Amino acid sequence: MKSIIIYYSRTGRTKLIAQTLAKEKNMNIVEIKDKTNRSGAIGFIKGTLDSMINNSTTIEPVTIDLDKYDTVYIGTPVWASKITPAIKQILDNINLENKNVITFVTLNKNGAKEALNSLNSTIKDKGGKIINSFSIITKGRDIESLTKDIVKNLGK
């Protein structure tokens, strides 16, 4: 069974989780990059707004051949209790028909349930089968050891 992990990260927390998961479970990994400038305070405010009102964004071109995989991990930070525009964008452009999907969101405190619900229903609409989902509070946490615990729970 081959798996791939697709993620977006603005400040590196989701990236570290994705990289740890990929290493522990020997998976390929693809980072989605948002062409909109999300840095600094203005980037934060624009990110919040774009997520709140479901604005689309432009992502850097990426080729993902999902034919090779039967399980797809999708990870995103929570923005304004929603998923990020970059992940929304890639979901519009990939075919998840008959794929097992494991979703995860990272956050500081609030909105995990809402973001996961929206992520999972978008994936189901695209024919993906959600087999697991989890959320990780990243603020002030040791992300690497946290992710290793998650891997233990997911099983090898």
The encoded tokens of residue 132 equal 């697991």
What CA–CA distance (Å, rounded) separates 87 from 98?
19
For residues 71-90, which are near ligand FMN according to CB under 6 A? 77-81
Taking CB under 6 A as the rule, does residue 109 contact ligand FMN?
yes
Nearer to ligand FMN, 28 or 48 (CB): 48
Minimum CB–partner distance for residue 67 and ligand FMN (Å): 28
Nearer to ligand FMN, 16 or 130 (CB): 16
How many angstroms separate the first and last alpha carbons of the chain?
A: 11
- Helices and strands, counts by H and E, the chain: 5, 5
Choose one: 22-30, 61-69, 108-116, 144-152; the region binding ligand FMN (CB under 6 A): 108-116
Nearer to ligand FMN, 17 or 101 (CB): 17
Closest-CA residue to 72 (of 134, 27, 105): 27
- Single out the residue of 6, 15, 83, 96 in contact with ligand FMN (rule: CB under 6 A): 15
Q: Mask: binding to ligand FMN, 114-153, rule CB under 6 A, as x and -? A: ------------------------x---------------
Q: How far is CA 5 from CA 8, 21, 29, 67, 74, in A?
A: 10, 8, 5, 14, 6
Taking CB under 6 A as the rule, does residue 5 contact ligand FMN?
no
Choose one: 62-70, 96-104, 107-115, 146-154; the region binding ligand FMN (CB under 6 A): 107-115
Nearest 10 degrees: Cα torsion 2, 20, 11, 94: 0
